[in-house]
């Protein structure tokens, strides 16, 4: 029986530190493990005893790439516990800062982290030497997202302005109007991004995913809605744990989430798109069709196109909010703590982010539960790899198979920094 | 200085809460105090933002903490446009963010570099959360600040001299 080992020690362009191990026995993939070995960070434990108003600032520190997601999910959870609903202009401003994070994160991932795979380059610096205009476009998009986060959050990484109940300070109309011109450019650039990504070559892989995302009756989901799937899940956010469960596996310090009695599921841009195509603005639907996407997409390598469609949505949505913005009467709604449990679920750029807190009438946190998107996608990544390697065992050279395995992991834009710093890929063939 | 186009910009990088890693921030702030006419920036979210900050500068000086294993307080100086910065001089804890060498390479590929680029790196040793900057690193920073002041004055003199020459 032939034996071979394919090994990549340092897989770049993912956020985090971990390893991937694939064992092949004969012509069968025997084992796939996404190893995550960073020590647990204990955020949920050290949230206990802290004041409920601290949750957005503390949990934002979990991630430098999607801090707004942590701020929004924790704020929503605390507001639910306090019996407060944030609506009107404050709600719109929350969607706006979230659009900034999506534009920044999707722009970064599409152009700087994922595109090199499709173009056959080691990294974005190498891409920039041959395609400077493409990389310039990505950097400009990313900067507009960053600037929007600075305008609303005070700074782009770990913003300091969002709080439970709203914001510490809200912008004037004039401050937001300054973004009309750059966002108008960004919308056009996003449409170009969809067309450009649609012209890339995609490895063949289709899976029968259970796509899990928020769904809202009036809008493409960012901060609110019900948790739904294309296989029948449809629950309120507070019932998340009735449907989903986490388990510890020996090879990962991150828990693996799964649908009870079923198994792995997909969170992130493709899941959102598949569950909410009808809620995208017409401009995004039209360009998606033009790109040949259809209303659903089950090839994870095409997630780069879906991200580009979501860029279109985020720019369009940001412009809509700015054009209709009237400053609220106050920057936040007062929240009075009580003995209660609150849940919040919002759509981070890379997928659903669930928070649940129990607080007391002094406002102290008694328990905390956080389920980040990359934990939810770990099983799906392993399942993708299993099928992809099996399909291509005898069709690809060792180098190409290794390269595309790395690419398959990057399909998820994994933010493993919530649990690790780099990814080692190790494929062993017996 | 041309309106909206800083002749000289000093950028300090680092994490204010991680001991010696804050030294770049401290240096840029101190240069700003001593030379208020100079444009200074303390803290940049990621390396790609350096391109926006330095592209329009005639001279940009970037200061960061090094972790190459040499003694704390060791000073490194590079001409960022002509010298290659050794791999491993700076730590990189994120593959999403570009370090100084990565930003320089990206800037070269995109034609987005300043007229002159100087990189100072001061070796650090202590990076614990909440730690103070160690004495040898602070001493080295004094020397770096003095060198930066001298480099800026020399740059300004060259500029003044060029302007005073008949066309």
pLDDT at residue A399, rounded to an integer: 81
Do the Cβ atoms of B111 and A143 come within 8 Å?
Answer: no
Min distance A421 CA to chain B CA atoms (Å):
7
pLDDT at residue A15, rounded to an integer: 60
pTM (2 d.p.): 0.91
Name which residue leads in pLDDT, A11 or A55. Answer: A55
Do the Cβ atoms of A132 and B110 come within 8 Å?
Answer: yes
Angle at A295 between CA A290 and CA A296, to 5 degrees: 120
- Answer whether residue A373 shows pLDDT above 60: yes
Of B96, B102, B106, the CB nearest to A108: B96
- Answer whether residue B96 shows pLDDT above 70: no
Q: Which residues of B touch A65 (CB under 8 A)?
A: 96
Of A14, A135, A417, the CB nearest to B110: A135
pLDDT in tens, A190-205: 999 999 999 999 999 9
Do the Cβ atoms of A417 and B94 come within 8 Å?
Answer: yes
Of A112, A125, A157, the CB nearest to B109: A125
pLDDT band, residue B95 (cuts 50/70/90): low
Three-state DSSP class for residue B36: coil
Alpha-carbon distances of A178 from A318, A319, A329, A384, rounded to whole Å: 12, 11, 21, 43
pLDDT at residue A254, rounded to an integer: 78
pLDDT band, residue A420 (cuts 50/70/90): very low
Any idea what DSSP says for residue A185? H
Do the Cβ atoms of A135 and B105 come within 8 Å?
Answer: no
Nearest CA in chain A to B46: A157
What is the mean pLDDT of the segment spanning B100-126?
A: 95
Min distance B73 CA to chain A CA atoms (Å):
27
Of B52, B93, B109, the CB nearest to A129: B109
pLDDT at residue A395, rounded to an integer: 78
In this structure, the strands spanning A256-259 and A340-348 are unpaired
- Answer whether residue A419 shows pLDDT above 50: no
pLDDT in tens, B15-74: 899 999 999 999 999 999 999 999 999 988 788 889 999 998 999 999 999 999 999 999
pLDDT at residue A17, rounded to an integer: 65
Separation between Cα atoms, residue A43 and residue A368, nearest integer Å: 9
Min distance B105 CA to chain A CA atoms (Å):
7
Class of CATH domain A43-391 = mainly alpha
pLDDT band, residue A41 (cuts 50/70/90): confident
Domains of chain B: 8-164 (3.40.50.1450)
- Answer whether residue A16 shows pLDDT above 70: no
Q: Which residues of B touch A113 (CB under 8 A)?
A: 96
- Answer whether residue B94 shows pLDDT above 90: no
Min distance B103 CA to chain A CA atoms (Å):
9
Of B52, B93, B109, the CB nearest to A421: B93
- Answer whether residue B163 shows pLDDT above 80: no
The mean pLDDT value of chain A amounts to 91
What element of type H or E holds A395? none
- Answer whether residue A38 shows pLDDT above 90: no
Q: Which of the residues A113, A125, A139 would you substitute to probe the B interface, choosing the one with the greatest number of B C-beta atoms within 10 Å? A: A125
Angle at A182 between CA A176 and CA A186, to 5 degrees: 120
- Answer whether residue A341 shows pLDDT above 60: yes
Q: Which residues of A touch B113 (CB under 8 A)?
A: none
pLDDT at residue B56, rounded to an integer: 86
Of A65, A136, A156, the CB nearest to B96: A65
Separation between Cα atoms, residue A402 and residue A387, nearest integer Å: 14
pLDDT band, residue A2 (cuts 50/70/90): low
- Answer whether residue A27 shows pLDDT above 70: yes
Nearest CA in chain B to A130: B109
pLDDT at residue B1, rounded to an integer: 42
Of A15, A135, A143, the CB nearest to B95: A15
Least confident of A227-231, A320-324, A400-404, B129-133: A400-404
Nearest CA in chain A to B45: A157
pLDDT band, residue A175 (cuts 50/70/90): very high
ipTM score here? 0.85
In 3-state terms chain A splits into helix, strand, coil percentages (rounded to 5) of: 45, 20, 30
What is the mean pLDDT of the segment spanning B132-144?
A: 97
Min distance B51 CA to chain A CA atoms (Å):
10
Q: Can you name the residues that pair with A212 across neighbouring β-strands? A: A229
pLDDT at residue B167, rounded to an integer: 60
What element of type H or E holds A198? helix A180-198
In this structure, the strands spanning A18-25 and A212-215 are unpaired
With a pLDDT cut of 90, the percent of chain B lying above it is 73
pLDDT in tens, A217-238: 999 999 999 999 999 999 999 9
**B-contacting residues in A 154-173 (Cβ below 8 Å):** 155-157
pLDDT at residue A394, rounded to an integer: 79
pLDDT in tens, A93-115: 999 999 999 999 999 999 999 99
pLDDT band, residue A79 (cuts 50/70/90): very high
Q: For residue A357, which of A58, A104, A129 has the smallest C-alpha distance? A: A58
pLDDT at residue A8, rounded to an integer: 44
pLDDT at residue A12, rounded to an integer: 45
| A125 and chain B in contact, CB less than 8 A | yes
Phi/psi class of residue A225: alpha, beta or left (left: φ > 0; alpha: ψ in -120 to 50)?
left
Q: How many CB pairs under 8 A join A and B?
A: 49
Three-state DSSP class for residue A228: strand
Q: For residue A47, which of A358, A405, A402, A384 has the smallest C-alpha distance? A: A358
Of B48, B94, B110, the CB nearest to A142: B48
| A124 and chain B in contact, CB less than 8 A | yes
Do the Cβ atoms of B49 and A132 come within 8 Å?
Answer: no
Q: Which residues of B touch A129 (CB under 8 A)?
A: 109
Min distance A44 CA to chain B CA atoms (Å):
19
Which residues of B sit within 8 Å Cβ distance of A? Answer: 45-46, 48-49, 51-52, 93-97, 102, 105-106, 109-111
Min distance A219 CA to chain B CA atoms (Å):
30
Separation between Cα atoms, residue A194 and residue B54, nearest integer Å: 30
């Amino acid at each position: 029986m032939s034996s071979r080992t394919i090994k990549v020690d340092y897989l770049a362009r993912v956020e985090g530190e971990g390893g991937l191990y694939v064992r092949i026995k004969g012509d069968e993939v025997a084992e796939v493990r996404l190893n995550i070995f960073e020590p647990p960070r204990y955020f949920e434990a050290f949230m206990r005893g802290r004041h409920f108003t601290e949750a957005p600032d503390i949990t934002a520190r979990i991630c430098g790439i999607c801090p707004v997601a942590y701020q929004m999910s924790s704020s929503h959870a605390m507001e639910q516990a306090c019996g407060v609903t944030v609506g009107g202009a404050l709600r719109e401003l929350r969607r706006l800062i979230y659009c900034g994070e999506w534009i920044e994160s999707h722009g970064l991932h599409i152009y700087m982290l994922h595109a090199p795979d499709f173009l056959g380059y080691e990294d974005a610096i190498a891409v920039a030497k041959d395609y400077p205009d493409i990389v310039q476009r990505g950097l400009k998009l990313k900067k507009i997202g960053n600037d929007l986060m600075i305008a609303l959050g005070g700074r782009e990484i770990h913003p300091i302005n969002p709080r439970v109940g709203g914001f510490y300070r809200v912008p004037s109309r004039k401050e937001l109007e300054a973004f009309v011109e750059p966002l108008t450019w960004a919308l056009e650039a996003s449409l170009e991004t969809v067309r450009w990504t649609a012209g890339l070559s995609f490895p063949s892989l289709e899976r029968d995913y259970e796509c899990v995302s928020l769904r809202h009756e009036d809008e493409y989901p960012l901060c609110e809605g019900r948790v739904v799937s294309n296989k029948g899940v449809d629950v309120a956010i507070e019932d998340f744990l009735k449907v989903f469960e986490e388990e510890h596996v020996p090879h990962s310090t991150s828990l693996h989430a799964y649908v009870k009695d079923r198994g792995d599921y997909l969170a992130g841009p493709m899941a959102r798109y598949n569950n909410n195509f009808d809620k995208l603005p017409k401009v995004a639907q039209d360009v998606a069709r033009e790109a040949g996407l259809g209303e659903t997409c089950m090839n994870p390598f095409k997630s780069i196109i879906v991200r580009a469609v979501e860029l279109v949505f985020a720019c369009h949505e940001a412009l809509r909010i700015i054009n209709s913005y009237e400053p609220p009467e106050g920057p936040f709604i007062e929240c009075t703590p009580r003995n209660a449990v609150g849940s919040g679920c919002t759509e981070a750029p890379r997928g659903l982010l669930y928070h649940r807190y129990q607080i007391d009438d002094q406002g102290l946190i008694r328990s905390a539960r956080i389920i980040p998107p990359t934990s939810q996608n770990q099983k799906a990544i392993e399942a993708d790899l299993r099928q992809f390697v099996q399909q291509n065992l005898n069709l690809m050279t060792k180098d190409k198979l290794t390269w595309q395995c790395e690419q398959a992991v990057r399909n998820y834009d994994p933010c493993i920094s919530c649990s690790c710093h780099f990814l080692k890929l190790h494929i062993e063939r017996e | 200085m041309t309106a909206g186009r800083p002749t000289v910009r000093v950028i300090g990088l680092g994490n204010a809460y991680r001991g010696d890693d804050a030294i770049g921030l401290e240096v840029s702030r101190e240069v700003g105090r001593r030379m208020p006419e100079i444009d200074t920036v303390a803290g940049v979210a990621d390396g790609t933002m350096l391109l926006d900050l330095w592209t329009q500068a005639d001279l940009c000086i970037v200061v960061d903490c090094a972790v190459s294993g040499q003694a704390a307080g060791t000073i490194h100086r590079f001409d960022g446009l002509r010298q290659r910065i050794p791999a491993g001089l700076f730590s990189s804890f994120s593959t999403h963010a570009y370090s100084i060498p990565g930003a320089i390479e990206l800037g070269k590929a995109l034609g987005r570099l300043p007229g002159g680029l100087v990189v100072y790196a001061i070796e650090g040793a202590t990076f614990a959360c909440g730690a103070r900057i160690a004495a040898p690193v602070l001493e080295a920073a004094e020397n770096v600040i003095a060198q930066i002041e001298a480099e800026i004055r020399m740059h300004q003199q060259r500029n003044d001299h060029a302007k005073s020459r008949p066309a």
